[in-house]
Amino acid sequence: MDEKRNIECPVCGSRIVGRRDKKFCDVQCRVTYHQRINNDCDRMIRKFNNRLKKNRKILNDFEELGKVICSSKQLLFMGFDFSIHTSIYINDCGDTFYYCYDRGYVSKGRDEYAVVKRETDSD
């Protein structure tokens, strides 16, 4: 009952031998196939995460310099991207805080931003 199948591996094109539901000739071809599929998505996630980390580092650098107020020009000059953040928090006064992980900023008007650090339970 061992009938010959003429199914080719989608990665390398060699003939697949073995179980009826087998889709790849070996483990390496299976891994290669899935890496190709996921690579575009992974690349986008890495790029997005790198932008978030850069924003966090810029905010952290301001805090380490002892500056709690900065302008959008200063942030943009350092490469800050205002379009990306991990979360938004609106306090009781209606102030909107934008966070990149645990570092954030809030508008103080007239192109001034206060750099803040989110307090966590472990702090």
Q: Is residue 1 part of a domain?
A: no
Q: Which domain holds residue 74?
A: 27-117
**Total domains present in the chain:** 1
Q: Is residue 12 part of a domain?
A: no
Tell me whether strands 69-71 and 96-100 are parallel, antiparallel or unpaired: unpaired
> What tokens does 95 get?
């102030």
pLDDT at 104: 93
Q: Is residue 59 part of a domain?
A: yes
pLDDT at 121: 58
2 pLDDT band, cuts 50/70/90, is very low
Q: Of residues 16 and 2, which shows the higher confidence score?
A: 16
Q: Of residues 38 and 123, which shows the higher confidence score?
A: 38
Whether 70 shows a pLDDT value over 70: the answer reads yes
Rounded CA gap, 35 and 42, in Å? Answer: 9
pLDDT at 1: 43
Q: Is residue 53 part of a domain?
A: yes
Rounded to the nearest integer, the mean pLDDT of the chain is 87
pLDDT at 85: 94
Query: Which pLDDT tens digit goes with each residue over 73-87?
Result: 999 999 999 999 999
**Which among 114, 116, 83 is positioned nearest to 101, based on CA atoms?**
116
Whether 123 shows a pLDDT value over 50: the answer reads no
Q: Is residue 31 part of a domain?
A: yes
